[in-house]
Structure 1
Amino acid sequence: MSAIDLTRPHNLPLAEAKTKVQHVADQIAAKFDVDCAWDGDMLNFSHSGVDGHITVDAKSVHVFAELGFMLSMMKGPIEDAIGRYLDDEFS
């Protein structure tokens, strides 16, 4: 399996950071057809071929996703898209 592991710092209140993460998750869900659900400060997502989470804390946002065989061949474009979404919200 191939993994995506991205972290972005932030200086936002936790509630605002979570709102921005939800916006990122909405974009990811629309583009990659994944299901998302919050569990505390962690947004879990999954779909055939991908499982992961986005964790929000007081200082950073961390995205971790494990890609199955078929999606691992597209790791670069997927990682770039997620990175752009994070940069748009947290830079």
Structure 2
Amino acid sequence: MSAIDIRHAHTLPMDEARQSVEQVAGTLSERFGVTCDWQGDTLHFARSGVDGRIALEPNQLHVTASLGFLLSAMKGPIESEIRRVLAEKF
């Protein structure tokens, strides 16, 4: 198992930040078939080989994910793509 742990600062009001996270979740669902579920201010996402969450906080997002054996080999590119999307949306 491999883990991703990213903290990304933002200056958006909470409702706008939540909408941006929703857009990211929609893209994840369409491109990778993940299921997403809000629990409070945390979006949980999962599919075979990935279990993660995006915690929405007033001044930052905290993205964590556990990657299964097969996806562990792609940790670098996955983490880079997450950082790129966060920089673009927030």
Q: Identify whether the pair has TM-score above 0.5, normalized to the shorter chain.
A: yes
Residue of structure 2 equivalent to 1:63: 63
What's the C-alpha RMSD, in Å, of the aligned pairs? 1.0
SS of residue in 2 equivalent to 1:23 = helix
Separation in 1 of the partners of 2:26 and 2:11? 22
Q: Deviations over 1:9-38 (max 9, x none)?
A: 111111111111111122222222211111
Residue of structure 2 equivalent to 1:48: 48
Unmatched 5+ residue regions in structure 2? none
Identity %: 50
Residue of structure 2 equivalent to 1:31: 31
Separation in 2 of the partners of 1:86 and 1:27? 13
Report how many aligned residue pairs link the two structures: 90
Q: Deviations over 1:40-79 (max 9, x none)?
A: 1000000011101000011101110000000101111111
Separation in 2 of the partners of 1:26 and 1:7? 21
Q: Which stretches of structure 1, 4 residues or more, deviate above 4 A after TM superposition?
A: none
